[in-house]
Amino acid sequence: MAHVPASERRPQLVRAAIDLMTREGVAAGSTRAIAAELGVAQATVHYTFGTKKDLYRAVVEQLTAEFVGQVRDAAPGDGPFGEQIRAMVHALWAGATGEEGRCVLLDEFAALALRDPDLQDVMRGLQHEIETTASQMLEALAAAHELELALPAHDIATHFLTGFDGLTDRYLVLRRAGEQPDAEALRALDLLVATTVGLCLGSPARIG
């Protein structure tokens, strides 16, 4: 394969790692297997990332960026505050539970991090980034509607993300391959939206 600058090779290797790990799991993502996925020498992976921790961090950051981008793109330009929250949450749900297996991949990283200090550092950074991003998006949306949040944005975001993680884990465990979200799962998601909007406004909320 012709020489490719490191600045171009890095995203290629990250994508190859994501594709491989999505199909076969994080444990299958050795530097040798990732190199073979892209058709380059194993030394190329080591040269580009230095350590497997650096590679894992790049993979997790890319997955996070894709999720956040999907949510930002789905945010409607107008409409009631609650409906805008609902649109973003459903976009996040679609990205987390889609057939691509990205959410399952992040769950695998989180499970491995319980016994791997290096990976735990990566996942801790991911959690902080997600919470910060969610807080910022909530603050921006409230400002656009000239609303004063009843609680600190970070507290609301943490509450929401904790519930969302539980709902997605439950759905991924219970669903069958190729199955679409059922009414129960979507009702639970909308209940989470309603309670989150209620925390923002300081009063119970009804969505839809």
CB 138 within 8 A of CB 155: no
Tell me if 208 is assigned to some domain: no
Whether residues 44 and 72 share a domain: the answer is no
pLDDT score, position 1 = 46
CATH of the domain at 157: 1.10.357.10
Helix ranges (DSSP H) in the chain: 6-24, 31-38, 42-49, 52-74, 81-97, 102-113, 117-144, 153-174, 183-201
Question: Is residue 60's pLDDT more than 90?
Answer: no
Angle of helix 102-113 versus helix 6-24 axis, rounded to 10: 90
Q: How far apart are CA 77 and CA 26, in angstroms?
A: 38
Whether residues 86 and 151 share a domain: the answer is yes
Whether residues 110 and 174 share a domain: the answer is yes
Q: How far apart are CA 192 and CA 123, in angstroms?
A: 24
Tell me if 157 is assigned to some domain: yes
**Domain encompassing residue 2:** 1-50
Q: Provide the pLDDT confidence category of residue 14 given band limits of 50, 70 and 90.
A: very high
Whether residues 33 and 129 share a domain: the answer is no
Q: Provide the pLDDT confidence category of residue 11 given band limits of 50, 70 and 90.
A: very high
Nearest to 30 by CA among 40, 42, 12: 42
Tell me if 97 is assigned to some domain: yes
- 118-170 pLDDT tens trace: 788 888 888 888 898 889 989 999 999 999 999 999 999 999 999 999 998 88
Question: Is residue 177's pLDDT more than 80?
Answer: no
Q: How far apart are CA 4 and CA 9, in angstroms?
A: 6
Q: Any long-range contacts for 134-137 (C-beta under 8 Å, 24+ apart)? A: 134/160, 134/161, 137/71, 137/72, 137/75, 137/88
CATH of the domain at 34: 1.10.10
